[in-house]
Amino acid sequence: MTLNQLRYFCAASRCHSIKKAAAELFVTQPTVSTAVRELEEEFSITLFYRKGSHLELTAEGEQFLEKADYILRYCIAMEAEYKDTSRIKPPVRIGIPPMLSTIFFPELLNAFCAAYPDIPVILEEYGSVRACDLVQWDQLDLALVNMELFNIDKFNNSVLFNSQLYYCVSREHPLSGETVMPMERFDGERVLLFNADSVQNQLLMTRFDAMQLHPDIVMRCSQIYTVMKFVRQGRYGCFLFKEMLDQFPECIGLPLEPPIPVRVGIVWKKGKYVTEEMQTFITFTEKYYREKAAK
């Protein structure tokens, strides 16, 4: 048994697919298949029920996954603990959604780097859903996310600030003279949304479905400045955090009625060893937004 075999098995369990696991791990499908087969042969157990290309864990597989996950988490913690004593510090890997990375994060990152120039940071841009998945799979250390995720309690987390969604239109848009946007008016309204791994989309679609509304979704996009180019044409609208409106003075933000509140926060994996660098970033970020709110 090797750590790589355990990693490949855990990925196949998570993805329910050899193909998807191989793509996630950047290895070939035979590599993952061989690792699973060798584990089954070594321990004389069957790990998966196979239905075509779909995998489901057997009872033995469920027990094996629990132990494999423990071993991998222990190894990660051990590695992190010894890296804490190393002169060369590994970077803190942080996931952040496009909306947050564009508007909220640059000032925070600049302040952190000025205060702690010896702590390297790597940013990776993902929607909140994907970022949380990568934190759970130990491929990210931390993530700044929209915390209205249904499974947010699975993570250690800290709320940084509270906000709400506004409907943003240009000054040439037919709705620009309004002071509020009732949800009923979205039926047939031409809107721009972010990509499917955005929690914001989930909140909006849940509200639309509950009210049996059918907006005309013109585009799904991950880049806010692309979205805003469309908004400036005067035909479409998009959804932004209230705090973002100052960044786009050429547009008008309409509060939703009823409102859709959101919490923005930082998450990290439960049970994961928190390095000194991770804790420094968490503490700094909490203090940064606490002081920002007090101004």
Q: In this structure, are 257 and 166 located in the same domain?
A: yes
Q: In this structure, are 119 and 145 located in the same domain?
A: yes
Angstrom distances, CA of residue 118 to CA of 88, 115, 229: 9, 9, 38
Q: With bands split at pLDDT 50, 70 and 90, how would you rate the model's confidence at 112?
A: very high
- Rounded to an integer, the average pLDDT of 189-201 is 85
Predicted local distance difference test score (pLDDT) of residue 88: 60
Q: What is the DSSP letter of 162?
A: E
Measured distance CA(228)–CA(237) in Å, rounded: 9
Per the DSSP assignment, residues forming a β-bridge with 144 are 266
**Residue 86 confidence (pLDDT) above 70:** no
Q: In this structure, are 176 and 32 located in the same domain?
A: no
Among the three residues 83, 101, 125, which one is the final residue of a domain in this structure? Answer: 83
Q: What is the per-residue pLDDT across 143-194, written as a single tens digit (0 to 9) for each?
A: 999 888 777 888 999 999 999 999 999 999 999 999 999 999 999 999 999 8
**Residue 76 confidence (pLDDT) above 80:** no
Higher pLDDT, 86 or 108: 108
Angstrom distances, CA of residue 275 to CA of 20, 85, 90, 91, 160: 30, 10, 10, 11, 20
Q: In this structure, are 174 and 42 located in the same domain?
A: no
Q: With bands split at pLDDT 50, 70 and 90, how would you rate the model's confidence at 72?
A: confident
Predicted local distance difference test score (pLDDT) of residue 84: 56
**CB within 8 Å of 185: residues ≥ 6 apart:** 175
Q: In this structure, are 223 and 276 located in the same domain?
A: no
Predicted local distance difference test score (pLDDT) of residue 286: 93
**Residue 107 confidence (pLDDT) above 80:** yes
Predicted local distance difference test score (pLDDT) of residue 143: 94
Q: In this structure, are 135 and 268 located in the same domain?
A: yes
**Residue 265 confidence (pLDDT) above 60:** yes
Measured distance CA(84)–CA(80) in Å, rounded: 6
Measured distance CA(178)–CA(255) in Å, rounded: 10
- Counting the structural domains of the chain, the total is 3
Q: What is the per-residue pLDDT across 122-141, written as a single tens digit (0 to 9) for each?
A: 888 888 888 888 888 888 99
Q: In this structure, are 128 and 76 located in the same domain?
A: no
Among the three residues 45, 62, 83, which one is the final residue of a domain in this structure? Answer: 83
- Rounded to an integer, the average pLDDT of 256-282 is 90
Predicted local distance difference test score (pLDDT) of residue 208: 93
Q: What is the mean pLDDT of the chain?
A: 87
Predicted local distance difference test score (pLDDT) of residue 61: 85
Predicted local distance difference test score (pLDDT) of residue 39: 86
**Residue 120 confidence (pLDDT) above 80:** yes
Model pTM score? 0.69
Q: What is the per-residue pLDDT across 17-67, written as a single tens digit (0 to 9) for each?
A: 888 888 877 778 888 888 888 888 888 889 888 888 888 888 888 888 888
Among the three residues 83, 110, 127, which one is the final residue of a domain in this structure? Answer: 83
**Residue 85 confidence (pLDDT) above 60:** no
Predicted local distance difference test score (pLDDT) of residue 73: 75
Q: In this structure, are 170 and 251 located in the same domain?
A: yes
* CATH number, residue 246: 3.40.190.290
Q: In this structure, are 46 and 14 located in the same domain?
A: yes
Q: What is the per-residue pLDDT across 232-243, written as a single tens digit (0 to 9) for each?
A: 999 999 999 998
Amino acid at 273: Y
Owning domain of residue 20: 3-83
